[in-house]
Amino acid sequence: MAAVTNTATTQQPPSQPANTAIAQLVPVPSPELTTDEMAVKAVHKRYEGLVMVRTKAIKGKGAWYWAHLEPVLVRNPDTGLPKAVKLRCSLCEALFSASNPSRTASEHLKRGTCPNFNSECSPKPISSISPAGMVNLSSPTSSSSPQPLQNHRKRSSSSSGNRTGRDNRGGGGGGGGFKIQNSTTNNTSETTYSVAPLTMIEPPRFSVDVSYPTRPDSVPAFSAATVVTVSGGGLYSPPHHHHHHQHVVLSGGKEDLGPLARLEDSVKKLKSPKSSPGQTLTKSQIESSIELLSNWVYENCGSVSFSSLEHPKFKTFLNQLGLPAISRSDITGKRLDAKYEEAKTESEARIRDAMFFQISSDGWKSKNYNNTNHHHHHHHHSGEFENLVNLSVNLPNGTSIFRRAVFTGGYVFSKNAEDVLWETIGDICGNNYQQCVGIVSDKFKNTVLRNLENQHQWMINLSCQFQGVNSLIKDLSKELPLFHNVIDNCLKVANFVNTKSQVRHSFLKYQLQEYGRAALLRVPFCRGVGGGGRVDFEPVFEMVEDVWSSARALQLVFLDDGYKMVSMEDRTGKEVEEMMRSQFWNELEAVHSLVRLIKGMAHEIEKEKPRIGNCLPLWEELRVKIKEWCGKFHVNENHVDKVFDKRFKRNYHPAWAAAFILDPFYLIRDTSGKYLPPFKCLTSEQEKDVDKLITRLVSREEAHIALMELMKWRTEGLDPVYAQAVQLKQRDPITGKMKIANPQSSRLVWETYLTDFKSLRKVAVRLIFLHATSCGFQWNSSLCRWAHSRTGIEKAQKLIFIAAHSKLERRDFSNDEEKDAEFFSLTSREDDVLNEVLFDASSL
């Protein structure tokens, strides 16, 4: 059962300044630590990081050696405080340095130093398993006594030498033959096929299935118990004279095994021509299966190629299941149209049930910043679409309905965007435009959104807060000298390491040694910061991220003999080395941590999709965190505050303050026990914004009544029982975070309980549910390539509608490409965590 608690409320002192009261909602900066306390904290951080990595590894998301290496805290015998982190071998209790777990595992476990470690302790690769029907290539031995496979990452010197010798002799020493053992109930017979030796294939890592896929009723070329192994003799070795042995020479080596299997399969087919093609399904089962397959293709919009449905192997797969082949024209024809009509009918029915709605518009802002990070640019031919704009409908009950997709090519003028948005609103509500409360969009705040709001007084048009918080990074990178220094220095380091061959080779070597992977430092094609061009900060931050994550490798490079030789002749190398010895690492850590902080906040906003009432608390929380960052890295707060305030004002909307006051979730309990709206958290200007917005959203006749009701709301607030019910939280079983138990309760209280507020409640119910972000769907890039013709656009739009409808039902806003990238980066992330845990910039 999920733990349920009530929102912590605090009394609001009357003397609290208006411009700082919201800071109650966020943590207070901790006092400055002493040197000893900082050292203990750093040790704890390293220990906790290693424990986290080990825990993930034990669950199957990390390196194998964590099953045997355990992080331990070594304490000072005099003070009892932690002074270092060590790795303890769980097999022999030996202690090692925690600086490089991978190297410790290699030297202690794999090289036989640990007396209690053997090959059975380490995970075996798939190639070491020998199921029936698999070809196992062991080390060259006699055919009668095959040797077991062993899992050695490094080959022994003798085997390496033998292999090299054979290669030099053109494959001459020690050939092999395939031995087929056919096991039956009463006897066992063996058949050996002599083949050429496979000296280029490492035996422990090679396996191949020799059985050719056949129908269930046919007899395979080799029985289920057939195993083919490599014997010691070569192609011209003398035949082995054993009882019941037959010697057949396959001139094509192992490549002949597949054709041989197909030959015997053909023989069996001819002997039994009436055999069935597989299991027989009823007509309804076939139709149901094809429909499920079609839905899977539609819902994975763009990820599954339609051409792959006609791949021979896929057709064979369907045949094995007893299903007919399915063509591209079938799945993109009537089936697609029927599925689209079904999804559209259901969506329109949900929209009709709602009294009002908000339009969400995402995709106007181009996300293809990577194009600027390559030396080759994508040329925009006519008909080639860059962006895909999603238009969705947010309903008061918290659900979202996908409406349409719009392909845009190149730059979109604000007038065109305004026409698209207004056309979408009219298409939904006809002439009753007041049914649309407003728009939230990732672009056009000062043009389209403002124009529509000025023309239609009932509208509340908001800019996306995910984009707003992310834009703060761009602002800081332009305004703060710290960013300029770090970016310039990282460019020097990256260009020096990438372009000097000896330094580059050393860098890649130490990367491989320290992290188990190697890659050059990414360098943006254009600076974009401090320079003339308008380029996204994203590729610049990728370079900063690369330099920071390669800190240990870079330190080793500048201690390497190869670098010392280069630095004697290259002046740039000396400059880079001197730069790294100054404040480079501290400044790099400062920039990296600030960008990560803001990006983390933006990611939470994108994931949680906050309502409009949460905007002021979110920005105040971000302000407090940045203030803590300034104190930690000794950065001028005044300069940073100016940049922050400028971005805040560009995003701010008076509806933020009004929703913050009217949403019962943010009521604060005073000394008398009343739950009152948090007016003291607002500035005087924001208080005026509340009055102006409420009077704008009601008729002239109701304006004075609404203001009187607002005064009543300010002094009386909400019944404590109802306020506590609205503010009730419970723990999310997936994330472990405390979340609102019933997000719709804030609006429902106004609609059902606060009925005395005749005019104010009309404003409240239309305001509270509004979304503060327009974060939509992330589509596969192949979709835009389909839209080269009218037919292509229509089919792409239908596919997008079906996929979006399905994603919204599952509340899944992720992208398959990102999921795959995340899956394949598990090990990389473990290395990054280790790097952050083990690398301390203050020690350089």
Q: 241-271 as b/e, with b when 16 or more CB fall inside 10 Å?
A: eeeeeeeeebeebbebbbebbeebbeebeee
CB-based contacts of 504: which residues, under 8 Å, 6+ apart? 497, 498, 520
Up-side HSE of residue 534: CA atoms within 13 Å toward CB?
0
Whether the per-residue pLDDT at 338 is higher than 50: the answer is yes
- pLDDT at position 821 is 64
Question: CA separation (Å) from 347 to 159, 199, 632, 705?
Answer: 67, 63, 51, 38
- pLDDT at position 116 is 80
Q: What residue type is 756 in one-letter code?
A: D
Question: CA separation (Å) from 2 to 495, 739, 774, 811?
Answer: 53, 11, 30, 21
Alpha carbon distance 169, 838 (integer Å): 48
Q: Please report, for the chain, the start and end positions of each structural domain, with discontinuous segments joined by +.
A: 35-110, 129-145+170-271, 337-464+774-824, 472-598
- pLDDT at position 528 is 43
Count CB atoms within 10 A of the CB of residue 89.
21
Whether the per-residue pLDDT at 127 is higher than 80: the answer is no
Q: Write the pLDDT tens digit of every residue in 542-593.
A: 999 999 999 898 888 888 877 777 777 778 878 888 888 888 899 999 999 9
Q: What residue type is 368 in one-letter code?
A: N
Q: Write the pLDDT tens digit of every residue in 154-164.
A: 444 444 444 44
Structure tokens at 558: 């500048």
- pLDDT at position 76 is 85
What percent of the chain has pLDDT above 70? 70
Contact assessment for residue 811 and residue 642, using Cβ atoms and an 8 Å cutoff: no
Element (H, E) at 695: helix 684-697
Q: Write the pLDDT tens digit of every residue in 615-670.
A: 999 999 999 999 999 999 999 899 999 999 999 999 999 999 999 999 999 999 99
> What mean pLDDT comes out for the span 745-750?
93
Q: Write the pLDDT tens digit of every residue in 238-254.
A: 444 444 445 567 777 77
DSSP state of 358: E
Q: Write the pLDDT tens digit of every residue in 513-543.
A: 888 888 898 988 754 444 444 456 788 889 9
- Secondary structure class of 438 (helix, strand, coil): strand
- pLDDT at position 527 is 44
Q: What is Dmax (Cα atoms) for the chain?
A: 110
- pLDDT at position 102 is 82
Please list the alpha-helical segments (H only) found in 2-118. Answer: 35-58, 101-104
- pLDDT at position 687 is 94
pLDDT interval class at 686 (50, 70, 90):
very high
Alpha carbon distance 730, 405 (integer Å): 36
Q: The tokens 């599925």 sit on which residue?
A: 339
Q: Where is average pLDDT lowest: 284-298, 363-377, 400-414?
A: 363-377
CB-based contacts of 253: which residues, under 8 Å, 6+ apart? 195, 196, 198
| pLDDT mean across residues, the chain | 75
Whether the per-residue pLDDT at 131 is higher than 60: the answer is no
Long-range contact pairs involving 163-169 (C-beta distance under 8 Å, separation at least 24): 163/199, 166/197, 166/199, 167/199, 167/200
Alpha carbon distance 824, 61 (integer Å): 11
Count CB atoms within 10 A of the CB of residue 540.
28
DSSP state of 238: P
Whether the per-residue pLDDT at 206 is higher than 60: the answer is no
> What mean pLDDT comes out for the span 222-238?
41
CB-based contacts of 299: which residues, under 8 Å, 6+ apart? 802, 803, 806, 807
More confident: 522 or 372: 522
Bridge partner residues of 676 (DSSP)? 668
- pLDDT at position 177 is 44
Q: Write the pLDDT tens digit of every residue in 55-91.
A: 888 777 778 888 888 998 888 888 888 888 888 888 8
Whether the per-residue pLDDT at 123 is higher than 70: the answer is no
pLDDT interval class at 33 (50, 70, 90):
low
Backbone angles phi and psi of 6, in degrees to 5: -100, 150
- Secondary structure class of 613 (helix, strand, coil): helix
> What mean pLDDT comes out for the span 427-451?
89
Q: Where is average pLDDT lowest: 75-89, 135-149, 260-274, 611-625?
A: 135-149
- Secondary structure class of 755 (helix, strand, coil): coil
- pLDDT at position 786 is 61
Alpha carbon distance 392, 403 (integer Å): 5
Whether the per-residue pLDDT at 147 is higher than 90: the answer is no
